[in-house]
Every structure is written in structure tokens, then in C-alpha cells.
């Protein structure tokens, strides 16, 4: 998996030490040798161990990564170890820990939804915290999910907010999009069964069922079963999808689960142990 560029990682280190490490410098302990360990405090899906390793290296320590992003760590298992001067370890410690805890929280939450989905693809939206896109994408993929959209530039997703400006029929709108972007699938977000039928008949490739309950998804699936299988749109359940209801949406007939839930997952706790070395 891609690792954040050194420029971004150095910026994180600089942000935490704009005027140096006041405590370590004042105690005059910076030159003393030491090592530290990062361990999973509870079972988790690891993410950003590569970035953590590099942060220690950029601060002047030596680091060894035992688990790559996407690995399932058991409680107490060591993810990474580093050794160097007390100054270098303290410089990178909290930034590396926080980054890994946050990214692993997203990865672990994604993995939980993926497990509950039982083989149906889980796609995360672009509603990540602004400025965190690269690592959010990495965390979603580490958890076994895919990205629903990376941004506005690569997918066709027609919202009601787009349709507000249109006077064409649904069929005319679909035809326009196919002419303009013949290689792209056309996704249309719908709010109820009537809209789902209308846009399915118009030829949408995917219906994004916004905030449908599992029961509403099942009703939509049943209503569209009269269509030929080759022209029947994929049903993507979106809005409110989480680990606790993913299986219900799959059972109802959703062929794709679209979620933003992992982005608000709690961080996973990474235990840090400092050890003196001779």
C-alpha cells in the first residue's frame, strides 16, 4: 500500500515540535539511548505502520515494522519497534502513535462491516475528514473495503441536487450521460421506490438507495425483478450502513454497501513502552 510522502510526514513532525522538545531538552536526556515498542492494546486491523516507521526514521531513530497495514493484530502483539536517542524517540513517538491509532480505527471499523457483509463489497464515501484523504483511503483498503468515489472527477453520480436543474426526462438524461461518458457507469441516487422504478426504467446502471431501510431495499428488489437481468440496475444501499445492519441490507438484496461510518470510528489504542538500553 502507498505510504504518505516524506514531505507530509516531515510536516507532521514539524507541527509537533515547532520550537523543539522543551521537556526533553530541559531535562538534558536527549542523548541517552533507548528503545520503544508499539503494541496493540486490543485486537485491531493495523494501518499506518509504514508511516509510523518512517516518522521514527525521519526523526533519526532506527525502526523495524513487524506488521504491515491490513494485518490483523491480536491484543498485546507488537506492531513496531524503534531505537535511538531519547530525543529522536520522543520527537516521533506521539505523532506516530496518534497517526496509527486513528488510521487503525478506520481500518478496523471497515473490516467489521466487510465481515458482516459476507462477501458483498463495502465501499466508503468521500466524506473523510478534509485533509486526510490519502490516509483515509489507505485505511479503508487496509480494512478490506473499496472507495465509492475518490472525488467528483472520476465517477457519474446523479443526485437530486443535479436533477433540480434539468428539464429532460430520466431517459434523456441517461442518454446524454452515455453519450458524454460512454465508458462510465451511471449511478443515480434515489429517495423512494417510485424514483427507483423511474430511473431503473430509464437505464441507470446503479441505483443508490439513500437511507432506505432493509425492508425498503427488499421492496425495491422485488419491484425490479420483472426487468431482464441484463438491464436490472445494481442496488447500492447507502446512508446509515454500519456493521450492525450490514447483514440485513445484504439479505434484503443490496449488491453494494456504501458507508461513511468508518470515518467516525474511535481510534484503536496502541500501547507504547519505552525501554532503556545500555
Kindly report, residue by residue over 225-260, the tens digit of the pLDDT.
999 999 999 999 999 999 999 999 999 999 999 999
209-214 mean pLDDT: 98
pLDDT digits (tens, 9 = 90+) for 12-33: 999 999 999 999 999 999 999 9
Determine the pLDDT at residue 278.
72
Determine the pLDDT at residue 209.
98
Determine the pLDDT at residue 2.
86
Query: Degrees (nearest 5) of the Cα angle 34, 36, 42?
Result: 165
Determine the pLDDT at residue 1.
79
Asked if residue 177 lies in contact with residue 144, where contact means CB atoms within 8 angstroms, the answer is: no
Task: Please give the grid coordinates belonging to residue 103.
Answer: 488510521
Name the residue ranges covered by the structural domains of the chain.
Answer: 6-113+265-276, 118-264
What's the gap between Cα 69 and its chain centre? 12
As a whole number, the mean pLDDT across the chain is 97
Helix ranges (H only) for the chain are: 6-16, 22-27, 49-59, 86-117, 133-142, 160-163, 170-180, 193-202, 214-224, 246-252
3-state DSSP assignment of residue 272: strand
Determine the pLDDT at residue 100.
98
Place domain 118-264 in its CATH homologous superfamily. Answer: Aldolase class I (3.20.20.70)
Q: Is the pLDDT of residue 115 over 80?
A: yes
Q: How far apart are CA 24 and CA 75, in angstroms?
A: 31
Q: Is the pLDDT of residue 57 over 80?
A: yes
CA-closest candidate to residue 72, choices 268, 252, 274: 268
Could you tell me whether strands 186-190 and 156-158 are parallel, antiparallel, or unpaired per DSSP bridges?
parallel
195 Cβ neighbours under 8 A, 6+ residues apart: none
Under CATH, what is the fold of the domain 6-113+265-276? Aldehyde Oxidoreductase; domain 3 (3.90.1170)
Query: Degrees (nearest 5) of the Cα angle 252, 257, 73?
Result: 120
pLDDT digits (tens, 9 = 90+) for 184-199: 999 999 999 999 999 9
Determine the pLDDT at residue 204.
98
Amino acid at each position: 500500500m502507498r505510504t504518505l510522502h516524506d514531505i507530509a510526514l516531515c510536516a507532521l513532525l514539524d507541527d509537533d515540535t515547532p520550537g523543539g522538545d522543551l521537556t526533553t531538552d530541559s531535562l538534558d536526556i536527549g542523548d541517552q539511548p533507548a528503545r520503544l515498542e508499539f503494541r496493540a492494546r486490543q485486537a485491531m486491523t493495523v494501518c499506518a505502520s509504514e508511516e509510523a516507521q518512517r516518522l521514527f526514521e525521519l526523526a533519526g531513530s532506527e525502526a523495524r515494522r513487524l506488521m504491515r497495514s491490513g494485518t490483523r493484530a491480536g491484543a498485546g502483539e507488537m506492531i513496531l519497534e524503534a531505537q535511538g536517542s531519547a530525543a529522536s524517540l520522543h520527537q516521533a513517538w506521539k505523532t506516530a502513535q496518534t497517526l496509527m491509532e486513528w488510521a487503525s480505527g478506520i481500518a478496523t471499523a471497515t473490516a467489521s462491516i466487510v465481515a458482516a457483509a459476507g462477501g458483498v463489497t463495502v465501499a466508503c464515501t468521500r466524506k473523510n475528514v478534509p485533509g486526510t484523504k490519502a490516509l483515509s483511503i489507505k485505511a479503508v483498503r487496509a480494512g478490506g473495503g473499496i472507495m465509492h468515489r475518490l472525488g467528483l472527477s472520476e465517477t457519474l453520480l446523479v443526485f437530486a441536487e443535479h436533477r433540480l436543474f434539468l428539464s429532460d426526462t430520466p431517459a434523456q438524461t441517461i442518454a446524454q450521460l452515455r453519450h458524454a461518458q460512454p465508458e462510465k457507469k451511471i449511478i443515480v441516487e434515489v429517495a423512494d421506490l417510485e424514483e427507483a422504478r423511474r430511473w431503473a426504467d430509464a437505464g441507470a446502471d446503479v441505483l443508490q438507495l439513500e437511507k432506505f431501510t432493509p425492508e425498503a431495499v427488499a421492496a425495491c428488489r422485488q419491484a425490479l425483478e420483472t426487468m431482464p437481468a441484463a438491464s436490472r440496475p445494481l442496488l447500492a444501499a447507502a446512508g446509515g450502513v454500519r456493521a450492525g445492519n450490514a447483514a440485513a441490507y445484504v439479505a434484503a438484496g443490496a449488491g453494494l454497501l456504501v458507508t461513511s461510518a468508518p470515518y467516525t470510528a474511535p481510534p484503536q489504542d496502541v500501547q507504547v513502552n519505552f525501554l532503556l538500553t545500555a
